[in-house]
Amino acid sequence: MRPRASIREYEVLRAVITSGTVTAAAHRLGISQPAVSRLLAQLESNVGVTLFERRGGRLRPTAEAVRLNDRLDRLFDALSYLDGTDPSDPASQPLRLAAPPTLGHRFLASAMAGFMKQNPGQMISLETCTSNGLVSRLVDDTIDLGFTLAELTHSAMELIPFHRTCAVAVMARSHPLARHDVITPEILHGQPHIALMRRHMVRTRLDQVFAQAGVRPQTVAEVATGVSAITLARHGVGVAVICPFPLLRQHDEDLAIRPFSPEFVYRASFAVSTVRPMSKPARAFMRHVQLAVRSETWASPETWAAQ
């Protein structure tokens, strides 16, 4: 008969699943790394299965570890009640979010407000960061959920798309090119063009499209965000090719918004960890965002040419 595993061993299991490394788990529990390794080895011996596989310096839970961790929810909920805390209380599970400035300020802030009204007492933190910063925060377990428009890849992260849109060309409504129903690279040849900074993947893709078409727009400004590009376009500086979500609605008195061809697809995605289970507040917020996107009146590219 195998010895019964201790609660401390189960705490180590959950800490390693959540943190991904022995070092982070030890820091979370306030014990030494050797102690974490020893308790983890004891647990594997007691339950008779392998609980983790080491990949790229991180511990990835096996299917057996995930099932065991799921079964432990009731145990740790009961312990929380005995300690005087309610695990179902939103305040006991703060939700940590991160996103690039455009998504954070133009979309997530209002989504957060709606979510907090529906879930009184839910604590949420939102920080803005670059795409690379988003990946590192998710890997280091400093956020629960990320948001991005970039096509990011990392072994410890998965992207779950929640909105799809296509690139558009924006310009002042009085701009001569506003007479076109669709803007193509050939139309932009020699025209004043507002570009994103070269560090953006979208800029690289757009430069490739221009090169393949054998055209060269006249770049008059380089900006870091779509917000700046729209502001310059509104003042008649030139034409910008941007992702419309979440910056544009269908009607804007000062702007002409036209579909851009060839089609550029943008996907707004949730960034979630592949090595840690998702918290209940994170899952609930994902559902809220999906419903918010569906209920908003984001214009489709096919309707912009009809303005």
Q: Would you say 39 and 9 are in contact if contact means Cβ atoms under 8 Å apart?
A: yes
Rounded distance between C-alpha atoms, residue 23 and residue 261, angstroms: 50
User: Is 289:162 a contact under the CB 8 Å cutoff?
Assistant: yes
Residue 190: DSSP 8-state: T
In this predicted model, what pLDDT tens digit does every residue of 80-137 receive, in sequence order?
Answer: 655 555 555 555 578 999 998 888 988 999 899 999 988 888 889 999 988 778 888 8
The CA-CA-CA angle for residues 282, 295, 274, to 5°, reads 25
Give me the phi and psi of 278, to 5 degrees please: -80, 140
Distance of alpha carbon 270 from alpha carbon 144, whole angstroms: 10
Q: Which residue has the tokens 């839910």?
A: 122
* pLDDT for the residue numbered 168: 93
d(CA 208, CA 72): 52
pLDDT value of position 180: 96
* pTM for this predicted structure: 0.66
What does the pLDDT read at residue 306? 45
Tell me how far the alpha carbon of residue 266 is from its chain's centroid.
13
* Residue for token pair 């609660």: 7
Judged by DSSP in three states, 220 sits in: strand
Domains, the chain, with CATH or none = 7-82 (1.10.10.10), 90-164+267-302 (3.40.190.10), 168-262 (3.40.190.290)
What is the tens place of the pLDDT at every residue in 47-92?
Answer: 888 888 887 667 888 888 888 888 887 777 666 655 555 555 555 5
Q: What residues of the chain score a pLDDT lower than 70?
A: 1-2, 56-57, 77-92, 249-252, 295-307
